[in-house]
């Protein structure tokens, strides 16, 4: 799991199988969790819908030659009467189709029964035609996968509508699972997300799940409606949920949202580490750390300033510091080119008792432990989220009314408890374990 990186990156993905100049999206592929920031990371609609006793199967989306084609097969279900009309909605986001098939018996209009503006095929499909008839619609450009309406009308005038995959339309229920350093329930720009957390969504009759991406984001592509979104304490998948609920405090873990057509509704969930629980688990042996104390890393950096090698070479130390620069927030650890070791050593050697100084010192040592493989054994995801929390505690906050400068740290009390936790994570009991 990668919790950090750019906190403002986009949401989720659609599964895309890339070919040379051609790609195909299959909605029956397992739910993706991260990657391309242009879509949703799970789609609520099934690949096949039964509409007015006929099976409407989405065969896929292909991109080739600068165009995007959506393909359907409609087949009988053995129930009278025969199909007389099949309509697929054309959302405005897709533009006008450049072609469609079959051409015969088709026209573009607003269906008087359903009110759907789309392509309407006046072609019969018999009740016992289990192979079905194939239809396709092609648009210019790379048109994303969405959710549209379809109508099936049978002989005698009975009609039914349902949701199917199609071009670009659809609503989104999206949000984040995040580390809430100021405990206000809202995610600020200086509060990062938690990856690999299973989120579920239900419309009351069925449910789907997805895991949050590396930035803690999820994004469900859904029809308009009312949904319940939840983060559950117990899940069947190998995700972060169980550790999350065991080691973090939390507020609301289930939210009900209503999303309008082609709109987005948000539901986010805040968690904050219980540092005393981490310390207790370390003391009890429930968590095991291979962490090295501040004094170890001070020695390693001093050696790396010269030509000798300690446990790690100069090149390895520089690589560790470079990795630390890409973790978490833009602050507090960014080093100048050519002065990385000197600057990091200055942080580790600052023995002032101010809580901000102590936290920054122990946090840097813990990040060095993490990137060097000396962190929590078998719990890298937990260690990473704890590091993010530490960075958030050091992040400046907006000044209070009437003041002229932001606070140096968010919460001195929590920062002090965080210091004790990172001391433990760094394999020390405090006192002489942190300084020379």
> Same domain for 85 and 209?
no
Q: Please state the rounded mean pLDDT for residues 8-32.
A: 29
Q: What are phi and psi of 266, to 5 degrees?
A: -115, 145
Q: Which of 124-133, 274-283, 422-431 has the lowest mean pLDDT?
A: 422-431
State residue 421's pLDDT score.
Answer: 96
State residue 43's pLDDT score.
Answer: 55
> Same domain for 250 and 356?
no
> Same domain for 126 and 51?
yes
Q: For residues 255 and 245, what is the distance between their CA atoms, to the nearest angstrom?
A: 17
Q: Please state the rounded mean pLDDT for residues 39-64.
A: 82
- How far from 75 is each of 35, 295, 301, 428, CA to CA, in Å? 35, 72, 70, 68
> Same domain for 311 and 293?
yes
Q: Please state the rounded mean pLDDT for residues 19-37.
A: 30
Report whether 410 contacts 397 (CB < 8 A).
Answer: yes
Confidence of residue 414 (pLDDT cuts 50, 70, 90): confident
Condensed to tens digits (0 to 9), the pLDDT of residues 175-202 reads 999 999 888 888 888 889 999 999 999 9
pTM beyond 0.95 = no
Condensed to tens digits (0 to 9), the pLDDT of residues 109-124 reads 998 888 999 999 999 9
State residue 40's pLDDT score.
Answer: 42
State residue 31's pLDDT score.
Answer: 27
> Same domain for 269 and 330?
no
71 is in which domain, residue-wise?
A: 44-167
Tokens of 231: 């983060």
State residue 261's pLDDT score.
Answer: 85
In terms of pLDDT, which residue wins out, 327 or 130?
Answer: 130
Q: Is residue 33 domain-resident?
A: no
Condensed to tens digits (0 to 9), the pLDDT of residues 130-158 reads 999 999 999 999 999 999 999 999 999 99
State residue 401's pLDDT score.
Answer: 52
Q: Is residue 13 domain-resident?
A: no
Measured between its terminal Cα atoms, the distance across the chain in Å is 35
Confidence of residue 396 (pLDDT cuts 50, 70, 90): low
Q: For residues 300 and 230, what is the distance between their CA atoms, to the nearest angstrom?
A: 45
> Same domain for 219 and 286?
no
Query: Which CATH number belongs to the domain containing residue 194 in this structure?
Result: 2.60.40.10
State residue 22's pLDDT score.
Answer: 38
Q: Which element (helix H / strand E) includes 22?
A: strand 22-25
Q: Please state the rounded mean pLDDT for residues 364-384.
A: 96
> Same domain for 71 and 147?
yes
Residue 170 has pLDDT above 80, yes or no: yes
Domain count for the chain, please give it.
Answer: 3
Q: Is residue 95 domain-resident?
A: yes
- How far from 364 is each of 59, 388, 428, CA to CA, in Å? 52, 12, 14
Residue 30 has pLDDT above 70, yes or no: no
**97: which strand partners?**
none
State residue 434's pLDDT score.
Answer: 44
DSSP category for residue 144: P
- Domain final residue pick, 150, 167, 184: 167
Q: Is residue 253 domain-resident?
A: yes
Residue 412 has pLDDT above 80, yes or no: no
> Same domain for 254 and 187?
yes
Q: For residues 317 and 309, what is the distance between their CA atoms, to the nearest angstrom?
A: 10
Report whether 94 contacts 168 (CB < 8 A).
Answer: yes
Report whether 403 contacts 263 (CB < 8 A).
Answer: no
> Same domain for 263 and 280?
no
Residue 436 has pLDDT above 60, yes or no: no
Q: Is residue 302 domain-resident?
A: yes
> Same domain for 256 and 312?
no
Q: Which of 80-89, 139-148, 310-319, 322-331 has the lowest mean pLDDT?
A: 322-331
Condensed to tens digits (0 to 9), the pLDDT of residues 208-244 reads 898 999 899 999 988 889 999 999 999 987 899 999 9
Q: Is residue 37 domain-resident?
A: no
């Amino acid at each position: 799991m990668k919790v950090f990186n750019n906190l403002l990156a986009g949401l989720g993905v659609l599964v895309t199988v890339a070919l040379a100049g051609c790609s195909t999206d299959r909605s029956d592929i397992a739910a993706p969790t991260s990657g391309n920031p242009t879509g949703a990371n799970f789609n609520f609609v099934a690949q096949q819908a039964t509409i007015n006793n006929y099976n409407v199967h989405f065969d896929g989306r292909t991109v080739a030659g600068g165009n995007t084609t959506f393909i359907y097969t409609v087949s009988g279900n053995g129930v009278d009467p025969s199909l007389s009309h099949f309509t697929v909605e054309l959302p405005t986001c897709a533009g006008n189709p450049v072609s469609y098939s079959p051409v015969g018996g088709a026209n573009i209009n607003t269906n008087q029964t359903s009110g759907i503006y789309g392509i309407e095929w006046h072609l019969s499909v018999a009740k016992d035609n289990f192979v079905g008839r194939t239809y396709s619609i092609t648009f210019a450009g790379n048109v994303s996968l969405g959710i549209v309406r379809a109508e099936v009308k049978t002989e005698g005038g009975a009609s039914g509508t349902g949701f199917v995959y199609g071009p670009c339309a659809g609503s989104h229920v999206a949000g984040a699972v995040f580390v809430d350093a100021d405990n206000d329930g809202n995610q600020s720009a200086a509060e990062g997300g938690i990856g690999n957390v299973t989120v579920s969504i239900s419309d009351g009759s069925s449910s789907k799940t997805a895991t949050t991406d590396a930035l803690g984001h999820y994004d469900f592509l859904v029809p308009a409606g009312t949904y319940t979104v939840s983060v559950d304490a117990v899940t069947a998948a190998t995700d972060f949920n169980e550790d999350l609920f065991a080691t973090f405090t939390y507020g609301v873990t289930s939210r009900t949202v209503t999303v309008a057509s082609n709109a987005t509704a948000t539901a986010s969930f805040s968690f904050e580490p219980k540092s005393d629980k981490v310390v207790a688990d370390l003391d009890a042996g429930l968590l095991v750390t291979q962490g090295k104390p501040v004094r170890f890393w001070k020695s390693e950096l001093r050696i790396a300033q010269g030509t000798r090698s300690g446990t790690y070479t100069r090149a390895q130390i520089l690589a560790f510091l470079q990795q630390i620069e890409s973790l978490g927030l833009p602050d507090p650890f960014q080093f100048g080119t050519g002065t990385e070791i000197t600057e990091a050593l200055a942080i580790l050697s600052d023995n002032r008792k101010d809580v901000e100084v102590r936290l920054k010192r122990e946090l840097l040592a813990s990040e060095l432990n993490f990137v060097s493989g000396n962190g929590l054994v078998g719990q890298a995801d937990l260690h990473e989220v704890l590091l993010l929390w530490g960075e958030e505690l050091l992040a400046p906050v907006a000044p209070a009314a009437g003041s002229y400068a932001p606070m140096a740290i968010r919460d001195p009390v929590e920062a002090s408890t965080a210091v004790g936790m990172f001391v433990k994570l760094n394999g020390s009991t405090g006192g002489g374990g942190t300084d020379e």
